Amino acid sequence: MAGSSIFFFLFFFFFLLLSAPARAQDPPPPADDAQAVRARVEYPKLVKFVPAPYPEAARKEKREGVVFLSVDIDDTGKVTAVKVVRSVAPDLDEAAVAAVTQFEFTPAKLDGKPIAVTVPLSYPFKLKDAATGAPAADTNGKPPADEPPPDSYTPDPVPPRRDFPGRITGTLWRFGQRTRVTDSTVVVASTEELPEVGRVQKRVFGGDDGTFNVKNLPPGEYEVIVEAPGFFVQRKTVTVADGPRSVEYFLKATGEPIYITIITGRALAREVTRYAVRLEEILNIPGTQGDALRSIQNMPGVARAPFGLGLIVVRGSAPRDTRIFFEGFEIPQLFHFFGLTSVINSDLLSKIEFVPGNFSARYGRAMGGIIDVSVRKAKTDGWHGYLDIDLWDTAALLEGPVGKGGIALSVRRSYIDSVLRLIPGIELAPVYYDYQAMFDYPILGGDFKLMSFGADDRIMFLEKDETPYITISHKLTAQYRKRFGEDRLFASAGVALFNLSFLNDDQTFRLSLETQQAEWRMEYLHQFNSTLSATAGFDGNFARGLFSLSTRFGGNREGSDEGDINNPFGDKKFEFDGYILANSFFTEANWHPDKRWTFIPGLRLDLLRVGETEVAMLDPRLTVRYCVKPDKLSINAGVGLYSQEMEIQEVYQDFLGNPRLTSNKSLHTTLGTTIKPLPAVSIESAVFYKHLFDLVTASDRVLMIQGEQVRENLRNQGYGRVYGLELLLKKESDALCPPFLGMNKCFGWLSYTLSRSERKESDQIDWHVFTFDQTHILTAIFSGQWRNGWQAGFRFRLSTGIPLTPFIGGIYDSDSNRYQGIQGALNSERLPLFHQLDIRVDKKFEFQRWSLTAYIDIQNVYYNKATEFIDYNFNYTKRRTIEGLPIFPSFGVKGEF
Amino acid sequence: MHTKLQIAMPIVMAIVFLFNANCGDDFRPAGQLVDDEAQVLGIRAEPPEVGGGDTLTVDSLVHWPQGEAHYLWFLCIPTNLEQVQSCVKSQIGDALPPPCEGAMATLCTAGTDPTFTWTAPPIPLPEGVTEVFFFVQQVLSSSPDVWAACEKAIRNNLPTADCLISLKTVTFSNREIKNLNPLISHFVVNEAIATPGEAVVVTAGEKASFNVVIDHAGLDELTDESTSTNFIFMDMDFFTTCGTLDRYDEQWYCEMALDGTREITCVADDDEEAPNNIKPRKDWTGECVVHAVLRDNLGGITWLTQELSFM
């Protein structure tokens, strides 16, 4: 190159960021997983290259290195900003930035339309004199694998003068994982002057299937150099004769931040606040035992559940007010017993989205928040799997291609009971398993997915091997999604059963619930023009539940009614065969008249029949977004009505219910901002106010209905109000880490919620704090990786203790020989402040075709004796505190291929 | 369906509580009676089920270690589907309710002695109704004027250290054969039959073991052919003044053979067939009392007290 003795080796590669920006425009159901988005993206191509002059001082001092850059390219292909992600030296950084700023590209396109993007780019500085001679081959004839980028290449490869049959084909695998490496650059250079053609050098790009093919090579010895973002350069010497030569490369990851292309300037989420998490980050959050879904409990607005139970308490709402969707279907339970682990294998997930309030009209029948969990597609680049063994359970996963599609099977089985048997005094232990099976296949230009998943939880008496408590759930779903240009269709249907039974030790008390359920959903998104799109659809479910509660002491008398709740004596049997039929219709528009304003109005109508009670719920909603500075600062506001039907058993008079009930309602208002001071740093804040009304609460009134006294039992008479502030400071995984730690990438977040949740069950009761109210909730998480496979992190949590209602005395009931506790003022006390530190250390050992990860996860490192519960003596005259977990270690190993 | 979680979570919470129930400082079991705390161990209505014109006698088993206990009894008939706990509270007026004599009020004062008797008025039950329930409320105090001392506690339904409130349900029915209280035959102490009312001498400093024998004559639930089953579960609770017991409660299972012999057998739970052991407090000598209180599941109750002399 003129004016320079250097030769550069430049590469940039593109991966789409799977998280918020990529999926922001169109939240599920059409799962914008990486592959799907990728297929729609046309990447920018370099059309004008400007070489960076080698700084004279660096040349004299023989300083070399690769400057890693982040380049913003606008929708015309012009470079608008260049940032140094990893510095070499100020003078080299400056030269690289100055050169790259003058680059020109073809614009990136999404669905054919130019878009702005941010791409990673590395600019190497290598002195030509230092490049004399390729790195020496080792004694096996193989060059060292872990080397910096190659020194230099002839800028204009010499074309062969005639055709040769020789060629080199190869496949690129990720070392230790056997996944195919895409977006590679392969350079083949003869190691010496060849007869007739002289020196030969060719460069090709690897395919999406991880293969490459270099043709037309004269016989001779070649050095094959493989470059791929995120991997060490590999060199191999290959001798080519008159024919093809096949090679395999296993590329070791550098551990550098994953190269990503951030698509910017797209429409943002429909909701005011939507927290999305990247799975590669949250899988190793301390205290979660590698369970991605448990990370939800670290999000802003989510209160800590007592005992660490898997209850999700969102913005001061009851756990039952938040709906949890898995692939668009509600799941009856997210966690196995005690929140030990989730019922879904975290490795199958593609994303977790959490909307604490003001959610889209696409979802309804909930007054709290929404958690939407999606699964990825099965891998199709070969058979993969793993075996994960820890202290509590073992999980296995196997997945691979089937025709044009893929299949994945996952099973987990606990053996916590065997561990607990070793601890004296433990009589009960949980036993659980879960499974997921999925099959993806492209059909008629769309994606079809068939899924089955389920879980089985049992409590076992260790000495008797009896299981008094069992829950079983199974679900089968089918879904289809397809794009028609910019329009999208999603349709799904599923059937499920959920059974629960409880039988006491003497078999005198039996409780059972058997439910069957069918669900459906269909929606269509139509893009009218560049500023307006709309979604319309319907969903619904039919659920039938047979509930039975019976006692068997052998003492019913003539004339006794075992269904009479007022009869304190004799055997009891309560049953109801109830059902819910729900048909819901929704529509939502997305209108952004200019680059700053976005309006998202929505309307949802839910028509329900709960037992013999009919309910109609009409919920209008609106979200408005004002973009103050594109990609830097936006202000969002939302208001909407959110209705939730009563529980099924609440409408059955014989089951202490009231068939005259109607729905619970809440009005959500949120004002939020999103600030992105740096590409990988975001600050999200929200203030919210929620007004709840028509809440179903207990009533002791006795009504006269058709001349008979009837207990009212329940009534829509309760109120609630919740207000607060949420703050999330988040740093995504990248190389900007504290230098003294020596990490090559790290991530972390600081989440704080200040809130107050109050209830007023009736006009006779004063406002009081809600049972799950927590004034302060603080979570700090940090985790980082080193190049040698080590990873370590911590999680610190601090939260106000939950309220509790004290017992101030007890009345002796001679019929049962029990004291009936008399409660004091409702929620007038609180448990002490909770705080806990958890740490986690992982070490990954990589072998050519598989890898092994070992970890230890320690909860409550400094042993804070947190009070989780207040217990009373038999006559409520004394009380004591029940503490939560002591120092709680968990460790395991995971081998994957 | 939200139902699933709503039902499952309380059960899970209960199980979690069980896991942690042995954490923290232990409480004194209810069956371990102490010298500085009064306690009601049972209220008995004899018979537990009455019809119109039947006379009822009510007494109680009370541990009152210091001073003298004074009694105040109420009878309360629910008028508005009230439950046992709220019956008196919801009907109490400005003054002490009228006595339960003559014209029957729905809330009346049944007496101020350790026992009281009352004759049920001949009230016909509505057609199709076999039984109704009314409630006995006992208030105990060290003060001779219980009403004056405990009026606030009664109105608030909130007991205090000197105003103990206890409840008992009584069945009013038009059945010909009514439920009877169960009966305890005798104690077996150190494998020897103890004569009711007589103290048994045991060795000081050593454990004493005992069993209780149920009198099958009190098992009308099995002999009454109107019942639909040939078995019944009963609860036996133990109380002692001088130490600790291996078990403070047992569940008993009584069954009548259907082979024509109609023979009745009663056994405690499988795990509890072994004799119960009483371990006196260190250096305990002298009298010790063990109460056995037996309840059927229809409101019947009885008790038997056995005195032990540690010498």
Sign (positive or negative) of CA dihedral A649, A652, A657, A660: positive
pLDDT value at residue A156? 42
**ipTM of this complex prediction, to 2 decimal places:** 0.93
Residues A495-516: b if buried by 16+ CB within 10 A, e if exposed? ebebbbbbbeeeebbbbbbbbe
CB of A725 less than 8 A from some CB of B: no
Helix (H) or strand (E) holding A870: strand A867-872
* pLDDT tops 60 at residue A60: yes
Superfamily classification of domain B39-173: Macroglobulin (MG2) domain (2.60.40.1930)
- Closest partner CB to A568 (pick from B12, B13, B169): B169
Contact A320 B24 (CB under 8 A): no
- Angle A542-A545-A547 (CA atoms, 0-180°, nearest 5)? 165
pLDDT value at residue A564? 77
* Burial status of residue A589 (CB atoms within 10 A of its CB: 0-12, 13-18, 19 or more): middle
Contact B169 A307 (CB under 8 A): no
Q: Left, alpha or beta for A71 (phi > 0: left; psi -120 to 50: alpha)?
A: beta
pLDDT value at residue A356? 92
CATH architecture group of domain A373-656+665-896: Beta Barrel (2.40)
Specify the CATH class of A133-251 in words.
mainly beta
pLDDT value at residue A134? 33
pLDDT value at residue B25? 58
- Closest partner CB to B166 (pick from A566, A580, A811): A811
Contact A878 B29 (CB under 8 A): no
End-to-end, the C-alpha distance of chain B in Å comes to 65
pLDDT value at residue A369? 93
Q: How confident is the model at residue A148 (pLDDT cuts 50, 70, 90)?
A: very low
pLDDT value at residue A516? 95
Per-residue CA distances from B281 to B204, B207, B241 (Å): 10, 10, 10
* pLDDT tops 70 at residue B165: yes
Residue B292 corresponds to which amino acid? A
Say what percent of chain A tops pLDDT 70: 89
d(CA A29, CA A602): 17
Q: What is the rounded average pLDDT of the residues B244-260?
A: 88
Q: How confident is the model at residue A333 (pLDDT cuts 50, 70, 90)?
A: confident
d(CA A673, CA A628): 10
Helix (H) or strand (E) holding A349: strand A349-355
Q: What is the rounded average pLDDT of the residues B29-58?
A: 94
* pLDDT tops 60 at residue A757: yes
Q: How many other CB atoms are there within 10 angstroms of residue A803's CB atom? A: 20
Contact B17 A566 (CB under 8 A): no
Of A459-468, A648-657, A873-882, the poorest mean pLDDT is in A459-468
pLDDT value at residue A373? 87
List the beta bridge partners of residue A175: none
Q: How confident is the model at residue B192 (pLDDT cuts 50, 70, 90)?
A: very high
- Closest partner CB to A500 (pick from B4, B24, B131): B4
d(CA A68, CA A865): 47
A740: Cβ–Cβ under 8 A, 6 or more apart, which residues?
none
d(CA A385, CA A454): 20
Phi, psi of B215 (to 5 degrees): -85, 115
Residues A802, A774 contacting (CB under 8 angstroms): yes
d(CA A690, CA A360): 16
B-proximal residues of A, 507-526, CB under 8 Å: 508, 511, 513, 515, 517
- Closest partner CB to A809 (pick from B159, B251, B298): B159
Contact A320 B2 (CB under 8 A): yes
Residues A247, A173 contacting (CB under 8 angstroms): no
Most confident of A735-739, B4-8, B276-280: B276-280
Q: How confident is the model at residue A14 (pLDDT cuts 50, 70, 90)?
A: very low
Q: What is the rounded average pLDDT of the residues B102-113?
A: 86
Strands of B206-285 (E only): list them.
208-215, 231-240, 243-245, 249-256, 264-268, 276-280
- Closest partner CB to B165 (pick from A500, A556, A811): A811
Contact A570 B19 (CB under 8 A): no
- Closest partner CB to A817 (pick from B85, B130, B295): B295
Look up residue A9 and give its two tokens: 């080796």
Residues B139, B150 contacting (CB under 8 angstroms): yes
Q: Which of A324, A358, A359 lies closest to A343, judged by CA?
A: A324
Measured in angstroms, the CA of A883 and the nearest CA of chain B are apart by 7
CB of A874 less than 8 A from some CB of B: yes
Q: How confident is the model at residue A341 (pLDDT cuts 50, 70, 90)?
A: confident
pLDDT value at residue A190? 85
Q: Select the CATH number that applies to the domain covering B183-310 from these four: 1.10.3470, 2.60.40, 1.10.1740, 1.10.760.
A: 2.60.40
Q: Which residues of B touch A513 (CB under 8 A)?
A: 3-4, 7
Q: Give domain limits for chain A.
A: 20-125, 133-251, 266-372, 373-656+665-896
List the beta bridge partners of residue A186: A204, A226
Look up residue A70 and give its two tokens: 């982040």
Q: Which residues of A touch B24 (CB under 8 A)?
A: 871, 880-883
Q: Left, alpha or beta for A507 (phi > 0: left; psi -120 to 50: alpha)?
A: left
B-proximal residues of A, 793-822, CB under 8 Å: 808-815, 817, 820, 822
Measured in angstroms, the CA of B106 and the nearest CA of chain A are apart by 17
Measured in angstroms, the CA of A870 and the nearest CA of chain B are apart by 10
- Closest partner CB to B226 (pick from A469, A558, A868): A558
Q: Which residues of B touch A878 (CB under 8 A)?
A: 27
CB of A560 less than 8 A from some CB of B: yes
Superfamily classification of domain A20-125: TonB (3.30.2420.10)
Q: Which residues of B touch A338 (CB under 8 A)?
A: 12, 16
Residue A191 corresponds to which amino acid? T
Q: Give domain limits for chain B.
A: 39-173, 183-310
Contact B233 A554 (CB under 8 A): yes
B-proximal residues of A, 693-722, CB under 8 Å: 702, 709, 711
pLDDT value at residue A893? 93
Q: How many other CB atoms are there within 10 angstroms of residue A340's CB atom? A: 21
| Whole-angstrom Cα Rg for chain A | 31
* pLDDT tops 50 at residue A138: no
CA A190 to chain centre: 48
Most confident of A242-256, A666-680, B75-89: A666-680
pLDDT value at residue A149? 38
Q: Which residues of A touch B28 (CB under 8 A)?
A: 873
3-state secondary structure of A94: helix
Q: How confident is the model at residue B5 (pLDDT cuts 50, 70, 90)?
A: very low
Q: Which residues of A touch B43 (CB under 8 A)?
A: 814
* pLDDT tops 50 at residue A150: no
Residues A71, A78 contacting (CB under 8 angstroms): no
pLDDT value at residue A236? 86
- Closest partner CB to A471 (pick from B8, B60, B299): B8
CATH of domain A266-372: 2.170.130.10
Q: Helix-strand-coil percent breakdown of chain A, rounded to 5?
A: 10, 55, 35
pLDDT value at residue A503? 86
Q: How confident is the model at residue A127 (pLDDT cuts 50, 70, 90)?
A: low
Domain B183-310 in the same topology as domain B39-173:
yes
Of A116-125, A178-187, B187-196, the poorest mean pLDDT is in A116-125
Q: Which of A827, A686, A834 lies closest to A301, judged by CA?
A: A686
DSSP 8-state code for residue A45 = -
- Closest partner CB to A469 (pick from B11, B171, B228): B11
pLDDT value at residue A270? 67
Q: What is the rounded average pLDDT of the residues A605-627?
A: 95
B-proximal residues of A, 401-460, CB under 8 Å: 425-428, 459
The average confidence (pLDDT) of chain B is 86
pLDDT value at residue A269? 62
Q: Which residues of A touch B164 (CB under 8 A)?
A: 812
* pLDDT tops 70 at residue A375: yes
Per-residue CA distances from A245 to A119, A185, A306, A698 (Å): 35, 18, 63, 79
Cis peptide before B47 (omega within 30 of 0): yes
Of A68-82, A385-399, A599-613, A637-651, the poorest mean pLDDT is in A68-82
pLDDT value at residue A822? 94
